[in-house]
Amino acid sequence: MDDFLRQLPHVDQTDIRLFAAAVSASSNGVVITDNSQPDEPIIYCNKAFEYLTGYTNKEIIGHNCRFLQDGDRDQEARNLLREAIAKGEHCQVEIRNYKKDGRLIWNELMISPVKDQDGNITNFIGIQNDITRRKEAEKALAAEKSYLEERVLERTQDLQYSEAYLSSIIETIRESLVVLNEHMQVLSVNDHFCRFFKIAQDDIKGKVLFEHNDGRWNLPELKNLLINVLPHNNPFEGFEIESEFPKIGRKLLVLNARQVTLKGKYQNRILLAIEDITERREIEQRKEDFISIASHEMKTPLTSIKGNLQLLQRKAQRNNDTQYSEGFATASKSILRLEKLIYDLLDVSKIQSGKVGFSFTTFNFTHLINEAVEGILATTQTHNIIVTGGSSQIEITADYGRLEQVLLNLLGNAIKYSPDGNSVKVHISILPGYLKVSITDTGVGIHERDHKRIFERFYRADQIAEKFPGVGIGLYVCNEIIKEHKGTLWVESAEGKGSVFSFTIPVNRS
């Protein structure tokens, strides 16, 4: 160091020593180059520089600074440095250097020129810090950032796909869809809506629904329903509108609406689905009409058959002629079955069209049970009916004829489906507010999977349909009748273990 200082002209030795000590003690690496010599060799480096690079003072002095970049020549920072040195300017760069052991270090390097009295550059002073850690952190951060960007891109793409997927569903769906805002303005409609109502998107977008189509949607009941969807989250289903619409004529529409349940941006929106059931309702009506007409038409020939048969039977009896008695009995039974079928079909058709009239009277339930049991006993030679429970005091308000129909049906089934049995049990229990009738047979039973379905219209359990005739409407009718009485009808059974059909009926409070 002293040699170095001694070479410097006209400088106060004491001050110089202080400066030199400061530079030597600095934790930043400091080098000084001599730019008056060829290839600008390093003529000074401090301890920190030695520590930073791993080289000793001897190995450093006399070299051009570039030896620190080793083979990593192709750095933008080097160009900047070269330019600054050429122009004699201050410069700051971040540069990759290599320690003696070959490890990469990132250095922040500042170089400043030193000029003589004539302005010629004599030296450059370089100060450098190890910023490897910061660089690594930055690199990790950048990697994280680019990873996140990728994820965002992926998610965006996913969303785009799922939006495209959903919108393809919405556009394919054979139902008209409308999105409304809280002011009942139409925000969007699907393709089906436009095709069905024969209008363009732009003709309805932004319009208030109730003003559209000359106010055909302006129904107080619908308005009330729609207005209440948002504030109280009250979805509705199955609201029917029948009206004459421009371009498409008279239509029966069924409307469902619900709040879009997503939070945030979309929550004050209503999704309204409109289904055209005009044709379906017509077909249903035609089917019911057909059943009704066909059933009535069957009654005429049946009246003739029944009348003629009974007349022949009467004449035979008068003549004490017994040779055809069995034939008469069989034919009478078949007629009875046919009659019951016709009545059941008519009942189904009436239930479907809501035309069943119930006439409620108050009567003693025991009378009804006795009458039904007598009625069924007249049709069977094979089975006993054993009635237990109940009391003579039970009064109920119900449709006598319809409840008798239920009892006859259940008792008839109990006998029909227990061909090997000889008795059917009827038990009446009195429960709080209700009475319960259970009809137990020892017959073929019903698989558990069919316990609900046997009450459906025209349903017949497989193993039963094979062995017993029937069309599957008796239990459906019974169930509808019991429902109308605010009771329930159900079955407990297992295959081969017999069945228990039970129903409840509310009793009069006394």
Q: Which residues pair with 181 in a beta bridge?
A: 269
Helix H or strand E segment including 238: strand 236-245
| 301 near other proteins (CB under 8 A) | yes
Nearer to other proteins, 153 or 293 (CB): 293
| 317 near other proteins (CB under 8 A) | no
Q: How far is the CB of 330 from other proteins (least distance, A)?
A: 17
Nearest of 64, 109, 67, 114 to residue 89 by alpha carbon: 114
| 303 near other proteins (CB under 8 A) | yes
Distance CA 315, CA 328 (A): 12
| 333 near other proteins (CB under 8 A) | no
* Secondary structure (DSSP) of 281-327: HHHHHHHHHHHHHHHHHHHHHHHHHHHHHHHHHHHHHHTT--TTHHH
| 315 near other proteins (CB under 8 A) | yes
| 296 near other proteins (CB under 8 A) | yes
| 357 near other proteins (CB under 8 A) | yes
Query: Each residue of 188-223: b (16+ CB within 10 Å) or e?
Result: ebbebbbebbebeeeebeeeebbebbeeebeeeebe
| 361 near other proteins (CB under 8 A) | no
Q: Are 113 and 88 within 8 A, CB to CB? A: yes
| 302 near other proteins (CB under 8 A) | yes
| 308 near other proteins (CB under 8 A) | yes
Nearer to other proteins, 252 or 335 (CB): 335
| 310 near other proteins (CB under 8 A) | yes
Distance CA 204, CA 209 (A): 8
The encoded tokens of residue 149 equal: 């960007």
* Secondary structure (DSSP) of 111-154: EEEEE-TTS-EEEEEEEEEE-HHHHHHHHHHHHHHHHHHHHHHH
Q: How far is the CB of 342 from other proteins (least distance, A)?
A: 9
Q: How far is the CB of 301 from other proteins (least distance, A)?
A: 7
The encoded tokens of residue 451 equal: 């316990």
Q: How far is the CB of 358 from other proteins (least distance, A)?
A: 13
Residues in the chain: 510
| 331 near other proteins (CB under 8 A) | no
| 314 near other proteins (CB under 8 A) | yes
Nearer to other proteins, 346 or 437 (CB): 346
Give the range of 57-65, 296-304, 361-369, 381-389 binding other proteins by CB under 8 A.
Answer: 296-304
Interacting residues toward other proteins by CB under 8 A:
296, 299-308, 310-311, 314-315, 335, 339, 357
